[in-house]
Amino acid sequence: MVPFLLPPPWRGREQGNRPTRLSIPSPRLALLVLVLLGAGSATALNRERRADTSVKELTADVKKRLDTEYADLEALYKHLHTNPELSLQEARTAARMAKELKALGFEVTEKVGGHGVVGVLKNGKGPTVLVRTDMDALPVIERTGLPYASKVRVRDKNGQEVGVMHACGHDLHMTCWVGTARVLVSLKDRWSGTLVFLGQPAEEIGAGARAMLADGLFTRFPKPDSCLALHCDGNRPHGTIAYSEGLALANVDSVDIVVRGKGGHGSAPHTTIDPVVLAARIVLDLQTLVSRETNPTDPAVVTVGSIHGGTKHNIIPNEVKLQLTIRTTKDRVREDILKGIVRIANAAAEGARAPKPLVTQVPAEFTPALYNEPKLTRKTVALFREVLGEKAVLERPPIMGGEDFSRYGRAGVPVFLYFLGTIDPKRVEAAQREGADPLPSLHSDVYFPVPEPSIRTGVLTMSLAVLNLVGKE
């Protein structure tokens, strides 16, 4: 068995850390190069030609299949968008994903690590490739004005009414995932190996991947040789891809601080220890962790995203609660910042005669940095460049977002996550003009991906990426 679409060795040679361009200008030059490299012989050239034809033919076949599926996939996308479910509550969404896979002949196991879905399709000998989608939505009231906008309202764990919206594009991820499964099943005679299609819950709270791994994802089901995922990009034009080789996304930590004081009347501050003033001091002091204590070449973020205390104008409260998100790319920097938070909070409290604040790192919300395995990244990206064109595939530095897809990598499997452009190119261009408003980011109540052609590019790239990894007898 030879790996399918595997480029001949000389095609993927490294230039520093950057992937090389795959295609060669003409068959004549190809022959010359092969002879010069001693690979010689018409056999190698034929293999080369066959590989090129295979990419073209396969691309055409995937596109043809997509044409038949597209209307149905867009309808599925709109259905999912209108009916979002929060993290840990993805029951109906998971059931729909399971149904889609069962209809295609996958062996499906539900309720893996909560609402997780695992579909396995064995198709002869060959590598095992895992394709992951996330399934959860966010507590956001949608304001896109789209005809298929979500109107869902639910109560959160505090009893507050919140909106629910697929503001991170996980509905589009699921659609591309279903589309990819359909394409791969329809091309079953063209590849061999095992597919593991993973519907993951609770990505937004960093809990789903950990729960699925703890529930035996890599022991109860075939352990993959590689894992693939895509994520919507709210800044890039549709039809394009962005990626990072190696480090791609940051370590994410959540920290809670309870700033303690001594309450009393607002008119008599001298009889109190005011936790509001103390909290304000801590918020400002924390900013020096990045600006004064971290090496400027090591990216880091300390954001206080929530501050709550007090009930009324003239009452000094007993405590103020802070919620922080910490982003780092190196484990060492992460440790230093987490320790620094405790030191700064304690020192500020001591200066204010206040009791020690309660600083709690929330381990359940930790997400490790995502590392795109270089070999898998280069192999997949080389194919994307060939299929979409050089200009449509952008390598970019890591970003400070987080994704628990990283956990499959930390569990010992090479992983690759890429970003799928989802925005009308005209909007992207307009947003780049001087003085223009930036585009809404992911998680914004007005972010939306343009379904066509985003879904098409998602299904095309993911299907070809899998075909590039599985085998052919």
User: Among residues 221 and 405, whose Cβ is nearest to Zn ion?
Assistant: 405
Residue 248 host element (H or E): strand 246-249
- Cβ atoms of 74 and 460 within 8 Å: the answer is no
Q: How far is the CB of 231 from Zn ion (least distance, A)?
A: 6
How far apart are alpha carbons 195 and 127 in whole angstroms?
Answer: 9
Find the part of the chain contacting Zn ion (CB under 5 A) among 106-114, 165-173, 175-183, 370-378: 165-173
Q: Which stretch binds Zn ion (CB under 5 A): 79-87, 163-171, 239-247, 452-460?
A: 163-171
Of 86, 168, 255, 393, the residue at the interface with Zn ion (CB under 5 A) is 168
138 beta partners: 165
Of the listed pieces 142-150, 167-175, 289-297, 404-412, which binds Zn ion according to CB under 5 A? 167-175
Closest separation between CB of residue 208 and Zn ion, Å? 11
Residues 80/171, Cβ–Cβ less than 8 Å: yes
Nearer to Zn ion, 236 or 281 (CB): 236
On whether the CB atoms of residues 263 and 446 are closer than 8 A, the answer is: no
* Sole window of 67-75, 150-158, 162-170, 264-272 interacting with Zn ion (rule: CB under 5 A): 162-170
Q: Give residue 126's region: left, alpha or beta (phi > 0; psi -120 to 50).
A: left
Residues forming the active site: 136, 203
Minimal distance in Å, beta carbon 323 to Zn ion? 17
Nearest-CB residue for Zn ion: 168
Q: Could you tell me which stretch among 164-172, 175-183, 346-354, 452-460 binds Zn ion (CB under 5 A)?
A: 164-172
Nearer to Zn ion, 52 or 233 (CB): 233
Which C-beta is closer to Zn ion: that of 168 or that of 464? Answer: 168
Does 249 bind Zn ion (CB under 5 A)? Our answer is no
Strand order in the sheet with 128-134: 107-112, 116-123, 193-200, 128-134, 226-237, 415-423, 241-243, 393-395
Q: How far is the CB of 203 from Zn ion (least distance, A)?
A: 6
Strand ranges of the sheet holding 319-328, from the earlier edge strand across to the other edge: 300-309, 319-328, 251-260, 358-361
Considering the complex, state which of residue 168 and residue 344 has its C-beta at the smaller distance from Zn ion.
168
Determine the size of the site formed for Zn ion (CB under 5 A). Answer: 1
Residues 374, 415: contact at Cβ < 8 Å? no
* Nearest residue (CB) to Zn ion, 139 versus 425: 139
Q: How far apart are CA 12 and CA 106, in angstroms?
A: 34
Task: Name beta bridge partners: 18.
Answer: 15
Cβ 134 to Zn ion shortest distance, Å = 6
* Burial of residue 226, with CB atoms counted within 10 A of its CB: 0-12 exposed, 13-18 middle, 19 or more buried: buried
Q: How far is the CB of 401 from Zn ion (least distance, A)?
A: 8
d(CA 370, CA 407): 8
Question: What SS3 class is residue 421?
Answer: strand
Binding site for Zn ion (CB under 5 A): 168
